Copies of this chain bind each other. A is one copy, B any other.
């Protein structure tokens, strides 16, 4: 295990009805009479009455809500820039995200953009590092990205999709009310479940040795996610299953499952190119296509770790060579994805026309390579995209 630092200061407020406390919760950090930018996505937050309840809660706590809707999946730089201008105009003192990962990421980007004199895109091209940000709070409506407890942001600029991170944008409070997930469409449930699985996998597949404790935590979390994900496929109003998924998804991306180990993140890198190529592709569905192909390409870099995955996570029993056990493990994982209804190749994802060479070229353009389990260069990535056909 490697040396590490960890803390998880986000105040997580979990359970039915808790979003009605958001005003009071924000006041712990934001002075009375402060304007608060309330960022949301489509019409559902408005139609369901959620935005109104939140607005009332803010007003009751002497805060002034300024609403900004219209965040899209794979949120765009242009939206963020619009949000920054609006936030400056109203002199907002904090950002409240009401939504899933896209809304929270857009809110985080606005939060670092408001006090910065240059273009907020500079943070994503790594031109500069954030030193200041407005405080961010979140009411989660879609458990998937784990952005409600994370320091990460992903923003798209046309067909460029880049990530940035700073402890400054970690929400100081996040509300997770599993009842808010009851109306999610099947596709969103599936994408969310796969996204949180992959957040754990990006950490679990490591070359770092002696990570016994974190391994065992990650393995049991992945099993719990799969079990409860399938329950939600059958009944999207299963409060108890949503509790497990809401909790697991949030911890999946706060750093806990990567303590003391080198993480990978190649699959996320490859998926980002797909959903940048076509921004209507849902990140979690893209991952369902990318991750099994990645597994097939990289397992030989550490067969022991993939045997452990097959045995401890996918429950593969019986004798066999390492390769046989590993292939059974990957097959079992694909079976799970199929049961969730996920696309199994680029065609089903609607990306059969994307050019592997173009995607690979863009994937390594800034980082040079992807991943650490097996460092992947442009030629490797072309091959992996081809495996997705």
Contacts and interface: CB of A to CB of B under 8 A. Distances in A.
Interface of A: 1-18, 209-210, 212-214, 216-217, 219-221, 223-224, 227-228, 240, 243-244, 247-248, 259-260
Nearest to A312: B220
A106 to B, nearest CB: 24
Given A7-B8, A259-B247, A260-B243, A224 B213 contact: yes
Contact of A6 (B12, B212, B227): B12
Given A4-B15, A260-B14, A216 B212 contact: no
Contacts of A228: 212-213
A219 B8 CA distance: 22
The 4 A-B residue pairs whose C-beta atoms are closest, nearest first, are A3-B15, A216-B220, A210-B240, A9-B9
Contacts of A220: 216-217, 219-220
B15 A7 contact: no
A370 B247 CA distance: 29
Nearest to A11: B7
A248 B13 contact: no
Q: In the assembly, how many copies of this chain are there?
A: 2
Given A5-B11, A7-B10, 18 more contacts: A1-B15, A4-B12, A4-B14, A5-B12, A5-B13, A5-B14, A7-B9, A8-B8, A14-B260, A210-B244, A212-B224, A212-B227, A212-B240, A212-B244, A216-B220, A216-B221, A216-B223, A247-B260
Contact of A221 (B10, B217, B224, B247): B217
Contacts of A210: 240, 243-244
A260 B18 CA distance: 13
A14 to B, nearest CB: 5
From A5, A13, A15, residue with most partner B Cβ within 10 Å: A5
Contacts of A214: 247
Contacts of A5: 11-14
Given A11-B7, A260-B14, A221 B227 contact: no
A14 B9 contact: no
A212 B240 CA distance: 9
Contacts of A9: 7-9
Nearest to A223: B216
A6 B7 CA distance: 12
Contacts of A17: 3
13 contacts: A1-B240, A3-B14, A3-B17, A3-B18, A4-B14, A7-B9, A14-B259, A209-B240, A210-B240, A213-B224, A216-B221, A216-B224, A217-B217
A12 B8 CA distance: 10
Contact of A248 (B10, B12, B213, B247): B213
Contacts of A4: 12, 14-15
A2 B8 CA distance: 21
From A209, A214, A216, residue with most partner B Cβ within 10 Å: A216
A6 B5 CA distance: 19
B243 A1 contact: yes
Contacts of A212: 224, 227-228, 240, 244
Contacts of A10: 7
Contacts of A227: 212
A214 B220 CA distance: 10
Contacts of A244: 1, 210, 212-213
A222 to B, nearest CB: 10
A219 B220 CA distance: 9
A92 to B, nearest CB: 24
A215 to B, nearest CB: 8
